[in-house]
Every structure is written in structure tokens, then in C-alpha cells.
Amino acid sequence: MLHYFMIFRKYRKYKTETLIFLCVFVFFIFSFYASIETIKADSSATSVTIIADSPPPPPSGGGGGRGTIPVPTPVASVVFSGRAYPKRTITLLKDAQVAATTIADPGANFQIDLSGLSPGSYIFSIYSEDAEGRRSSLFTFPISVAQGATTKVSGIFITPTIDVDKKAVKRGDNIAIFGQSVPETEITIEINSDQPFFGKVKTDKDGVYLYNFDTSVLEIDQHFTKSKASLRGEISPYSQTVGFLVGTETIEKDNTGCGRADLNCDGRVNLVDFSIAAYWYQRPISANFALIETDRLNNDGKIDLVDFSIMAYYWTG
């Protein structure tokens, strides 16, 4: 990072704030897999099990021949299994690069086998997208694999997806909270306030859930909601948080394709969106941009490194 900063300093025409933005940009492009949405594998809300089989013994040497037959170096493999969303694609990243994909069965179970690995340490991450294109949190596993061994990672429980139907809701009106998880699973929904409120609902045969929340118990302010799934004693981590404003009027959410971190609503997250966010960095945001920040970024009323980290996670280029 220091190297890039020294290069940028040569260009005197840039202001100090611009230099900061450029440094932040380089940082989050090379570090996007460590974003704020990451869930570590050792989360207490999960029952992930990591087992490494013992590598096979080295082949015994032969004798009597004029030459020796080279023995190929045993490679390592990793097997991931767990639950996601029924008939949806699960993506496996290896050191922030797509390594494999698979599709969950109708019961939302999946397994990904990754072989041909060189011995060493890797950062594996898994995520899925539901039927409406909403993305789960990124589930991350730092794993060291041994030569010739198979490491099995089981009990993965991908977080539910979550969304709301309104950007702003008149206090006392209902707001719909919905998403997707494993079929026939209990979903716990948390809504923050001076004290948190909790609700429970079951997913249907397709894993879809819907919860209508009465906002009369909430104060006029910004709020966020998140959800987690529970099935036969196994509990997923919490989903991403989604924000909404409780006030004096209701504003329906725009569902025309403005996804998370897509600030200009063009279906992509790239330098244009970064520039928009950079303009509001460490500045009071306008009322109009506050609605965008609530809907597509961190929902804390400001632009900081957390928002850039979210953009990095959704980066399309």
C-alpha cells in the first residue's frame, strides 16, 4: 500500500482527499475477499466440522532395475458440504478466485469436491444466490492442506438472504421482510431498536419466507433487520443486514435492478459507483443520497471504509 501511495504523491494536481480515495480503492480491490460481509468458519452459530484424512504412506522403493520410475507427487483435495438454497448455484472461491460451482438439490443440500491442490494454506470462501439474485454472506475458511490428504469441511449452513419491500415506512404501517433459505426451516428475524424485536416464521417448500412486521413499536429513526435459520439443532450465522427508515411517510423500494452497492443503478458495481461514494467520503450526505446509502450500503448515514468494503464484495468491474 505504501508503494502505491508514493506513486500517487508524484501527481501534485490531486488533492489530499483524492489521494486517500485512490489508496482506499487499491486496498479494497486487492482485499475484497476480507469484506465486512464475511462469516468466519469458526462462528459459534455454526456446526462446521473440518477433518483432514491422513495422507497415504510414501511408496516403497523398488530394486534391481537399471533406472527408477518417477513417482508423481500426491496432491491434496478438499470436500465442502452443507445447506444453501434449493436448486440454486453455490460458488466456491479459492484465494478470492472462483474455483468451482455446483447446484444444491431440492432439499438445499450441496457438495463441492476440489482436487489437484498443491500442499499449502488457502483461504476458501463459499456463497450462494437465491432465486431473486440476492446474495448470501460470504462464508470463509482458512485451511491448510497436506500432501496427499483429503480435507472434509461439513456442516456448512449458508446464511439466509433477506430484503424488505420499503425504503421508508410510515410508523405504524407494516414492512415486509423476506428472503430464502432451506425448505421447511425456522427463520428468526431480528429488528433493531432501543431494544431488539424478534419474530419467527417458517420457510415454504422452496425455502422462501415472508414476515410482516408492525412498525408501531419502533421509534422514528433508521433501523436494520437480519435473519438466521435453524433446522434440527443446526443454526446458520446471521444474514446480511438490510436497512429501512421509520418516519412519517412510506416509500416503496425500487426493485428495478438497483442491487447492493450499485449506486447509479446500472446493474454493475464499478468505478462509477466508487466515484459516487468517494464524493461523500467524510462529508455530510444529502437527504437523497441518504436513501441510497440506507438501501445499498451500510445504513449508518455516512460513507466510510465499511461502505467501500461492501462495494468490494459486490464488485463486478
Handedness of CA 266, 255, 292, 21 (dihedral sign): negative
Percent of the chain surpassing pLDDT 90: 43
DSSP state of 257: S
Query: So what's the pLDDT on residue 10?
Result: 44
Tell me the pLDDT tens digit for each residue of 117-130.
999 999 998 999 99
Does any domain span residue 307?
yes
Taking phi first (over 0 means left), then psi (-120 to 50 degrees means alpha), and beta for anything else, what does residue 35 get?
A: beta
**What's the domain count of the chain?**
3
Tell me the pLDDT tens digit for each residue of 206-257.
999 999 999 999 999 989 899 999 999 999 999 988 888 999 999 887 665 5
Q: In terms of domains, do 44 and 140 share one?
A: yes
Residues 160-170: what's their mean pLDDT?
A: 93
Contact in structure between 84 and 180 (CB atoms under 8 Å): no
Query: So what's the pLDDT on residue 203?
Result: 97
Does any domain span residue 59?
no
Whether 9 shows a pLDDT value over 80: the answer reads no
CA gyration radius, the chain: 23
Q: In terms of domains, do 45 and 149 share one?
A: yes
Grid cell, residue 140, equals 470463509
Calpha distance 214→246 (Å, rounded):
11
Amino acid at 201: V
Query: So what's the pLDDT on residue 171?
Result: 95
DSSP readout, 168-209? EEETTSEEEEEEE-STT-EEEEEE-SSS-EEEEEE--TTSEE
Q: In terms of domains, do 26 and 98 share one?
A: no
Closest CA to 23 of 45, 4, 10: 4
Alpha helices, H only, 219-284? 271-279
Does any domain span residue 189?
yes
With cut-offs at 50, 70 and 90, classify the pLDDT of residue 190.
very high
Whether 12 shows a pLDDT value over 60: the answer reads no
Of 137, 157, 177, which residue sits at a domain end?
157
Start-to-end CA distance of the chain, whole Å, equals 21
Calpha distance 65→181 (Å, rounded):
61
Residue 129: give its domain's CATH number. 2.60.40.10
Calpha distance 284→222 (Å, rounded):
16
Does any domain span residue 233?
yes
With cut-offs at 50, 70 and 90, classify the pLDDT of residue 134.
confident
Provide the domain limits for residue 179. 159-253
Q: In terms of domains, do 22 and 107 share one?
A: no
Of 90, 122, 157, which residue sits at a domain end?
157
Calpha distance 167→189 (Å, rounded):
18
3-class secondary-structure state, position 309: helix
pTM of the model: 0.67
Cell 440476492 belongs to: 134
Query: Angle at CA 90, nearest 5°, toward 175 and 54?
Result: 130
Calpha distance 238→108 (Å, rounded):
18
Q: In terms of domains, do 232 and 316 share one?
A: no
Does any domain span residue 315?
yes
Whether 315 shows a pLDDT value over 90: the answer reads no
Q: In terms of domains, do 153 and 200 share one?
A: no
Does any domain span residue 58?
no
